[in-house]
Amino acid sequence: MDPANPVVQLCVSGMRAEAEGRDAEALRLFEQAWSAARDDYEACVAAHYVARHQTTPEETLRWNQICLDRADRVGDDRVTGFYASLHAAMGRAHHQLGEPGKAREHFTRAAAHIDDVPPGQYGDWVRFAVAEGLRATGGGAVRPAAGLLTDLFARFCARGDLKALGLVVPAHLGDLGTEGDRTRLVTALHMVHAGRWLPRDEQEVLGRVVGALNGLAEVEGAPGAG
């Protein structure tokens, strides 16, 4: 986004107010940005932030729909990277309204646009939000040995093993169910396994998880295991 754009400047000021806990001031600035918008692109940007400060799920959904509609009207590269976040926001709003089917549809569409989001912390945040939404609405990946993996995370946390958590948790949280995501998760787990710093029992369980994810072994608790 162009930092010299007046609407963008108002939104940046609004985000600063958000960070400082001045929510009323933030909303005022975002609404000012909406009023100042001169085209669909600027209106899309402003509506995204206005939506974040609505007090009911219905109004949140309405403003997110306005934002999405304006992005569709723009229809060029300026909004390509927005769609994963826009559909994730629509999914959250529908989920809050008790509409899991509609929510899952938007989270699925968000996942289809995830590669358009620039890499970095923001991209990671969007990916995590989409994966969380898919899991919450029944559209997430069901991986073999999921129960054992959750148990391992609990053990890592109990021991304060930040190295293991730092390697594995991002791949798990960002798992959208694709083959590429499975590969990232297996690679992260294999790195921990190859390091051999875990206690023996955790090392053995981790080996079973990697084998199950690679389709080499059935694990108790995995789908299809007897």
pLDDT in tens, 73-108: 998 999 999 999 999 999 999 999 999 999 999 999
d(CA 197, CA 169): 17
Which pLDDT tens digit goes with each residue over 19-74?
999 999 999 999 999 999 999 999 999 999 999 999 999 999 999 999 999 999 99
What would the DSSP string read from start to end of 99-145? Answer: -HHHHHHHHHHHHHTGGGSPSSHHHHHHHHHHHHHHHHTT-S---TT
Weakest-pLDDT range from 77-86, 162-171, 212-221 = 212-221
**What is the per-residue pLDDT for 222?**
37
**What is the per-residue pLDDT for 141?**
73
**What is the per-residue pLDDT for 225?**
36
In this structure, the number of other CB atoms found within 10 A of the CB of residue 68 comes to: 22
**What is the per-residue pLDDT for 220?**
41
Which pTM does this prediction carry?
0.85
Mean pLDDT of the chain: 92
Query: Considering only CA atoms, which of 184, 181, 182, 175 is closest in space to residue 133?
Result: 175
Q: Where are the alpha helices (DSSP H) in 20-99?
A: 23-36, 40-51, 57-74, 83-96
